[in-house]
Structure 1
Amino acid sequence: MTAPLLRVGRAVPVRLVCWSLLEAGQTFLLGYALARALDAGFLAGDARTGLWWLAAAAGAVVAGAYGTRRVYEVVADLVEPVRDRLVAGVVARGVREADPGALSGLTQQAEIARDTLAGLVLVSRSFVFTAAGALTGLCALAPPLLLVVLPPLLAGLALFAATLRPLARRQEAFLAADEALAAELGEVGPGLRDVTAAGAEEQVAARTGQRVDAEFRAARALARWSAVRVAALAVGGQLPPVLLLAAAPWLLAHGVTAGALVGALAYVTQSLLPALQNLVHGLGTGGTRLTVVLRRLRPPPDPGPSPTPAAEVTPGAPALSFSAVTFAYGPASTPVLDGLDLVVPCGGHLAVVGPSGIGKSTLTAVAAGLLHPAHGAVRVCGHPVPGARAAALRVLIPQEAYVCTGTLAENLGLLRPDPVPGPELLAAAETVGLTPLLDRLGGPDAPVRPAALSAGERQLIALTRAYLSPAPLALLDEATCHLDAEAEARAETAFATRPGGTLVVVAHRIDSARRARRILVMDGPRTAYGTHEDLLRTCALYRELVAPGEAAGSQPPLAL
């Protein structure tokens, strides 16, 4: 999974290496210039030469600082697309498969992966180029210096490498405990009122406390390995300067100058030790976390090609059916849906209207399988909800549209197993009304920056993505609220006339209801169902919702 996630152009790693070489040059000159300033300058009685070498070292520090700043920019270009791909994968699994780990994956693990990958790249790159610059400098000053510095450095690295596997195991145990705690809190939080009403505070507190204690134990086991990291750091970074001082008489006797010895101490204390500290703490914590998180976010193995959704539709079954469905946000709460019976035939077009907060979005969430009714049955194309087959046959477009960093074609093809052919993509964009935005961005292969798009533009991308999906049932939960009336009409008409498609739309304007073949009016536990003309005659609430627009000739939102 790591290789596709790190898919970047050649320019990014090339830039990273170039700016890192600038830092390596700073490291090399730090010790070498100091040694030359002493041997050829101050100790030889030539202060001017000594000052020139010190000035060269100072200039290298300034250049290295500039290189470090540019390195951070390159690392951002490397890790932000990785985070977007991880989030897209987590959201897809959470929506399609009701993955219980999606909450922790989206809110914590994807962010852990982004942050730790950035830290891992920075510390690993810094250690490699710093060590290369320092060791090259030691060899240039006097090869015997390497005999003192290199063995403990390698021993410290080997000891540190031996801790990585145990750290990874304990990190995975910690993340598993965190997921369990997040799932527990996700269940307890929305039902606190019902817990209090039922007098179950002690039982719920005890169960939640067990989850908290399990995460604490996992975190403590992870922390114990910090002692081994400290030992590795002591051997690899703090032992070399001690050995240099202890071996100073032998080194001076074998041709090492005083300036070279001082330069070697500078290499060890000012370059190798800080770089090793960053590597041990960064890679020891962040590297193992990244490995575990990527493994836990890896999608399940592909079972191979599956039948197309059209082949899974039960012959003669309606596109959506509710049978005596009751749903409430808690056992003691007033039902939002109370014994609801509803049938939407294949190819149908239903608009759901009602006052704001009455439960229209709840109905679409129940239809999509995101919420589970207390009683009754929901089916999509004959398959029970929730279920993998039903999930493959419906697509839900919420009010807040998600757009990821990538090309426009990648965004539009997120719900397709294979890339969308160019002609089909362009035809869908024209039908839904995305063509002006597509042309402005520069075509399907143009990069998309979500922050640069308006809410309406993001909705058009999400609508076109849903239009291109193979799912026959489209659930639009105020998915056009940021579009003007003309763009909304075009998008809804596209879904209503999609071959083999069925549309259920939470209406935002009166015209949405007029365009629908059937309308469901929600009024708490009461509902009314029929055509626009039928409901004007028989439903007082519908007349109230429609009356302002009828009188003024405008098309206001339906919500009261």
Structure 2
Amino acid sequence: MRPRGRTGREVRPVRDHAVFRYLRRNRRPLAVLAAWGLLPAAQTFLLGYGLARALDDGFLAGRTGVGLAWLAAAGGGVLAGAFGTTRVHRAVGALAEPLRDGLVREVVARGLHRAVRAGRPESGTADVSRLTHQVEIARDSFAGLVLVLQMFVCTLAGSLAGLASLAPVLLPVVLGPLLLALALFAWSLRPLARRQRAVLVADEALADAFGETAGGLRDITAAGVRGRAEAAVGARVDAELAAALALGRWGAVRVVALGLGGQLPILLLLFLGPWLLRNGVTPGGLLGALTFVTQALLPALQALLGGVGSAGTRLAVVIARLRTDPLPPQGPPAEPARERAGAAVEPSGAAPAERAGPAPAREAPAPGARAARRRPAVELRGVTFAYGGRAEPVLDGLDLAVPPGGHLAVVGPSGAGKSTLAALAAGLLAPRAGRVALCGRPVAGRTAAELAALRVLIPQEAYVFRGSVADNLSYLRAAPLPAAALTAAAEAVGAGDLVDRLGGPAGQVDPAALSAGERQLLALTRAFLSPAPVALLDEATCHLDPAAEAGAERAFAARPGGTLVVIAHRISSARRADRVLVLDGAEAHSGTPSELLGRSALFRDLAAGWSDPSRAPGDADGVDAVAGPGLADDGGQVVAHRALREP
């Protein structure tokens, strides 16, 4: 079945968007357009010819009635032309709208193809310009071009027929300068098209620059390269301005062509008037010729030069851009040079690698359960990620390995990349370079169901839905769990009292009636019941008090075979972990909490500014009520030197 345009008219599919081929494949709308164009042509003919006959055969001959009749005929031609013009616009719509629909389909298809092959969604910023800007330019330019060409052809046909009917000697006086003007204008079309293309290329480059800059604003501010970013975008703006000015300078050619074809014939008719009158041209014929030039040919030529010079060149360039836009090269982008130190968190007893180089090639593990257990539960090798094609990387060449059953805390200032690290490990973000694996399996290319079987991610804003408590808690399980298992899990995480207050597993959950901390407790219990071996807590306990947070983290750390990665917002979470990863801008440090107190100035600063009022000095977590020298597990590194704060 052939597609239909918005007008309901059947149109042939737009396989190749070359305009002339498209027109050949849609002859029926063209035939309708030509048929309705006869009425505007008749209007032009009657305008000059009727005025000449009214003067010669009517008013100058003393027959007023005849003169008025010819004027009435000219007025009737105006009405007929107006009716034909409305029909012409409908026929143009039947041609333009299907062309637009075909262009949209091809732009979307090419954009998706590019994104899949490039592997970088941010590379599609120029496609936004194509879809929202260039396709509309093509549709509007095509419709405008068809209209001006149809109007000029009809006007030219009516005018030449009228001049020939009045006096053949008038034809060379009017037609000669007109042909000279059209030749000059045709010569200028190629340079106009080149400059129009430069404008569109500059527009795409500016759209890309704006998109990349907007996507990397945080990194631009953090890296202190605002001036360089402003200069880069400013250069794109200047380039587009220069291209637009170069295009505008060629407008002078249109002015010269308009003077030759539309105004020079008027001067020639006036200058040669006495000679024409002596050679058979009547006064009415001379007046009719001036009417054809001033009221028909001059406006039609002006519209033609403006329409083809702007709309025509824009259409040719846009169609070429949309059809021949090159696809990006296959394969992943080149890995950037690593400037930051990697950080590795190895199994207990292994020395931490603070400045790891490129990861060696992994050999295939030996078969068997022991080889499987040696695979890290969470592994990042040479991972680089940035928000935007030209933004500074948030993580650059990061190496990380968390063993099965390990407990890692990630700390650092805001914007250091902690949540980005969690999203990369969960498979929600794709790195620019490097490899991410869970339980020895690469994350890239896995479906949502396959990722859900490997990890569970609990974000800062917990999600619960209206329904029973059992439905909320067992949402990540393939089959419903007994009420006793749900209650036990809630007690382990610290949500037992909340579940009892809601009426047990059969109770109903109203998300609006719960506090942020209560929603986090339900989400934590749901994640605790998940069969996924890796749990990623991205500040998932930020709305809980320190005691509740400690209980929830201990429950996750004690899950049989489970691995816990905590994006910590309290330093007490780091003190509870087996190992800690400190993200600090250009550096990354790893080690046990005690080791990092001696090696990482940032970790020392964070530890000095934190106290946990829920714990007594020397508790099992090693978290003291007040940071200061001489306390349990101090070793002389922790010194309170300023007001306490929560990182």
TM-score class, shorter-chain normalisation, is: 0.5 to 0.7
Distance 2:478 2:168 in 1: 91
State the shift of 1:191 in Å.
Answer: 2.5
Distance 1:91 1:277 in 2: 37
Distance 2:384 2:421 in 1: 4
Matched letter for residue 531 of structure 1? R
Which has the larger displacement, 269-278 or 120-129?
120-129
Distance 2:206 2:58 in 1: 65
Q: Which residue of 1 aligns with 2:72?
A: 55
- 1:163 alignment partner, SS class: helix
C-alpha contact 1:326 1:337 (8 A) present in aligned 2: no
State the shift of 1:125 in Å.
Answer: 1.1
C-alpha contact 1:328 1:336 (8 A) present in aligned 2: no
Verify: 1:239 aligned to 2:260, yes or no.
Answer: no
Distance 1:7 1:94 in 2: 28
Aligned counterpart in structure 1 of residue 201 of structure 2, from 171, 176, 185: 176
Distance 2:28 2:494 in 1: 61
- 1:530 to 1:542, Cα distance in 2 relative to 1, 3 A: farther
- 1:40 to 1:282, Cα distance in 2 relative to 1, 3 A: same
Verify: 1:2 aligned to 2:27, yes or no.
Answer: no
Structure 1 residue runs of 4 or more that deviate by more than 6 Å after TM superposition: 325-328, 382-385, 516-519, 525-529, 539-545, 547-550
State the shift of 1:2 in Å.
Answer: 1.1
Report matched runs for 1:206-285 at 5 Å. 206-285=231-310
Verify: 1:338 aligned to 2:430, yes or no.
Answer: no
Q: Which residue of 2 aligns with 1:138?
A: 163
Matched letter for residue 195 of structure 2? R
C-alpha contact 2:436 2:442 (8 A) present in aligned 1: no
Q: Which residue of 2 aligns with 1:468?
A: none
C-alpha contact 1:123 1:282 (8 A) present in aligned 2: yes
State the shift of 1:219 in Å.
Answer: 1.0
Report matched runs for 1:87-486 at 5 Å. 87-98=104-115, 100=124, 101-299=126-324, 324=380, 329=387, 331=394, 332=415, 336=419, 338-339=421-422, 363=428, 366=429, 376-377=435-436
Distance 1:35 1:227 in 2: 35
- 2:37 alignment partner, SS class: helix
Q: Which residue of 2 aligns with 1:444?
A: none
C-alpha contact 1:82 1:114 (8 A) present in aligned 2: yes
Q: Which residue of 1 aligns with 2:356?
A: none
- 2:129 alignment partner, SS class: helix
State the shift of 1:190 in Å.
Answer: 2.6
Q: Which residue of 1 aligns with 2:477?
A: 531
- 2:421 alignment partner, SS class: strand
Deviations 1:130-158 (A, max 9, x none): 10111111111110000211100000000
Aligned counterpart in structure 2 of residue 67 of structure 1, from 70, 74, 84: 84
Verify: 1:82 aligned to 2:99, yes or no.
Answer: yes
Return the structure number with greater helix share. 1
Distance 2:312 2:270 in 1: 34
Distance 1:534 1:519 in 2: 19
Distance 1:108 1:154 in 2: 35
Q: Which residue of 2 aligns with 1:36?
A: 53
C-alpha contact 1:378 1:384 (8 A) present in aligned 2: yes
State the shift of 1:195 in Å.
Answer: 2.1
The unaligned stretches of length 5 or more in structure 2 are 1-16, 116-122, 328-377, 395-414, 464-472, 513-518, 520-647
C-alpha contact 1:35 1:259 (8 A) present in aligned 2: yes
Deviations 1:195-234 (A, max 9, x none): 2333222111111111111111111111111111110110
- 1:292 to 1:504, Cα distance in 2 relative to 1, 3 A: farther
State the shift of 1:505 in Å.
Answer: 11
State the shift of 1:519 in Å.
Answer: 9.2
Question: Looking at CA atoms only, which structure, 1 or 2, has the larger radius of gyration?
Answer: 2
- 1:377 to 1:259, Cα distance in 2 relative to 1, 3 A: farther
| Residue-pair matches, total | 391
- 1:238 to 1:301, Cα distance in 2 relative to 1, 3 A: same
Which has the larger displacement, 292-301 or 521-530?
521-530
C-alpha contact 2:138 2:314 (8 A) present in aligned 1: yes
Distance 1:541 1:208 in 2: 52
Deviations 1:244-302 (A, max 9, x none): 11111111111111101100100000000000000101101111111111111114689
C-alpha contact 1:339 1:376 (8 A) present in aligned 2: no
Q: Which residue of 2 aligns with 1:307?
A: none
- 1:209 to 1:504, Cα distance in 2 relative to 1, 3 A: same
Distance 1:88 1:206 in 2: 36
- 1:60 to 1:551, Cα distance in 2 relative to 1, 3 A: farther
Matched letter for residue 129 of structure 1? C
Deviations 1:440-484 (A, max 9, x none): xxxxxxxxxxxxxxxxxxxxxxxxxxxxxxxxx9xxxxxxxxxxx
Aligned counterpart in structure 2 of residue 20 of structure 1, from 17, 32, 37: 37
User: Identical aligned pairs, as a percentage?
Assistant: 50
C-alpha contact 1:328 1:374 (8 A) present in aligned 2: no
Q: Which has the higher contact order (CA 8 A, sep 6+)?
A: 1
State the shift of 1:81 in Å.
Answer: 1.5
Distance 1:46 1:280 in 2: 42
- 1:201 to 1:242, Cα distance in 2 relative to 1, 3 A: same
C-alpha contact 1:337 1:524 (8 A) present in aligned 2: no
- 1:167 to 1:114, Cα distance in 2 relative to 1, 3 A: same
Distance 2:251 2:61 in 1: 47
Q: TM-score, normalised by structure 1?
A: 0.61
C-alpha contact 2:148 2:300 (8 A) present in aligned 1: yes
C-alpha contact 1:164 1:288 (8 A) present in aligned 2: yes
Distance 1:122 1:128 in 2: 10
C-alpha contact 2:145 2:311 (8 A) present in aligned 1: yes
Distance 1:49 1:541 in 2: 105
Distance 1:119 1:209 in 2: 33
Deviations 1:57-110 (A, max 9, x none): 111111111211222222122111211211221122222212653122112111
- 1:143 alignment partner, SS class: coil
Distance 1:219 1:133 in 2: 37
